[in-house]
Amino acid sequence: ISTRLVVDRDFVVSDLDRRIFGSFVEHLGRAVYTGIYEPGHPTADERGFRGDVMELTRELGPTIVRYPGGNFVSGYNWEDGVGPAADRPVRLDLAWASTETNQFGTNEFMEWCKATDIEPMWAVNLGTRGPDEAREFLEYCNHPGGTALSDLRKSHGVEAPHDIKFWCLGNEMDGPWQICSKTADEYGRIAHETAKLMRLVDPTIQLAACGSSQHNMPTYGKWEDTVLEHCFDDVDFISLHTYFENRGDSTPEFFGCIEQMDVSIKEIVAVADGVAARKHSTKRIMLSFDEWNVWYKARSINDLRKPGWPQAPRLLEEIYNTEDALVVGGALIVMMNNADRVKAACLAQLVNVIGPIMTEPGGPAWRQTIFYPFAQATRFAHGKVLRPVIESPSYEAKSHPEIPYLCACVVDDESTGTTTVFALNRHLTETMQLRVELRGLGTSRTLDHALALHHSNMKATNTKDAPNTVVPENNPHVQVDGETILAELKPGSWNVIVTT
């Protein structure tokens, strides 16, 4: 099939906010314990941080990481995770039916963020707790000193304030599974009051209100409308969550999720701007897609909870295959193409729990298939997203009425002269002949990289024993001629073409 992609340097969607390449570490299963933190592991440093996981995290390149939950945060007492480790209480984690030792907490996570050069995104507990604990925790973290809580931080060995900027006001408060879930009115009021108190402690912070936990929640749309009615003036972001599923085991249907993500972004923008209109406000609420990924295989009751209150059990350990990586790549393209409103996002999660990185306790760490599109996007997407005009044949699916075979975006970095094309060929049997016209970006461009992620088996996976089954390869069938790129894209492939 033939497709065409045209961009013009003057037709810009927006600067890309690199916070859209975020990830997520929750106290859940083996995300923290035997994931990022495993004292005694052969690669662990003196703080217990696994060196192999830090190295893979740097290669993956997330810019911001959400912590400590997720559902976990709605029952979490921040005080349990600070101070001398020996004095920290062991608690029941009701969200994941696990035992939480609290050996890893706030200051450990901040240390880990520094070591991996990652910005923290912090969620406060608006389930069992409320505005007062949120403002206390913020004072502990961000106030320079001279008050009981900031001096408590100093007594824990952290002299300088953490200066955490990005705060989520709770997690999935619309979900009946959430500890102390709320109606939209209840949550909107609490979000408003919490934001008020937190901004009084530190006016420099940015705040995200919880949106719907899935686009198919019964209150989707109405929830955001009501919540923002209460806290429009107090927050900078509304969150979106989505987990893509391939329950019908059909790759073409599965690709419809990518289009659905685009629809959800546009719907929530419309709702937020509708609230702005009612309030006669020029303010625009931005979107934080702070949980997204493929997740449907490791979702049985045994994947969500194990009997006997185990510590760091194997939960949500989704094994990703080729088609999952293509969907993750497509989702990244969609978010980049919506860079004017999506200003933060978190691939949920980072390690072991629905993660691009897997580990064995005491053993190796390796990259799942979804690692690659994410790592390539964080590595190559810098600068401005250009508005793509796409000509492509499409197909009809139950999941979406019209799915173009080509899904693509172009990011241009004026500071280096680098222009990168990310393209997914959603045709499963035909090679795509793609013509890209990079108008106004210089007539003598050269090709720096042409990379493709493809495997003839959509169910192929990377495992501990065969970690390199699905890996990117060079694509020799890409030519640059003046401002035109001619590329042959394999059926069912994710592609990155970098030119200067």
Binding positions for ligand AHR, rule: CB under 6 A: 26, 69-71, 171-172, 213, 291, 348-349
Task: List the structure tokens of 480.
Answer: 């640059």
Please give the angle made by the CA atoms of 61, 19 and 449, to the nearest 5 degrees: 45
Active site residue 245: no
Least separation in angstroms between residue 173's CB and ligand AHR is: 10
Side-chain half-sphere CA neighbours of 470 within 13 A: 30
In the bound state with ligand AHR, the residue whose beta carbon lies nearer, of 348 and 357, is 348
Nearer to ligand AHR, 349 or 425 (CB): 349
Question: Min. distance of Cβ 238 from ligand AHR in angstroms?
Answer: 15
Residue type, position 149, single letter: L
**What minimum distance in Å lies between the beta carbon of 414 and ligand AHR?**
36
Q: Which is closer to ligand AHR, CB of 70 or CB of 472?
A: 70
**To the nearest whole angstrom, how small is the minimum distance from the Cβ of residue 355 to ligand AHR?**
10
CB of residue 364 to ligand AHR, shortest distance in Å: 24
Which of the following is catalytic: 291, 323, 483, 488? 291
Least separation in angstroms between residue 64's CB and ligand AHR is 16
172 counts as catalytic:
yes
* Closer CB to ligand AHR, 171 or 359, in the complex: 171
Which residues on neighbouring strands pair with residue 193, listed in sequence order? none
Question: Nearer Cβ to ligand AHR, position 219 or 433?
Answer: 219
Q: Which is nearer to ligand AHR, 213 or 378 (CB)?
A: 213
Q: How far is the CB of 354 from ligand AHR (least distance, A)?
A: 6
Nearby residues of 270 by Cβ (< 8 Å), 6 or more positions away: none
CB of 70 to ligand AHR, least distance (A): 3
Tokens of 8: 């013009």
Please tell me which residue in 26, 100, 136, 172 is annotated as part of the active site: 172
CB closer to ligand AHR, 243 vs 309? 243
Nearer to ligand AHR, 70 or 105 (CB): 70
Query: Which residue numbers are catalytic?
Result: 172, 291
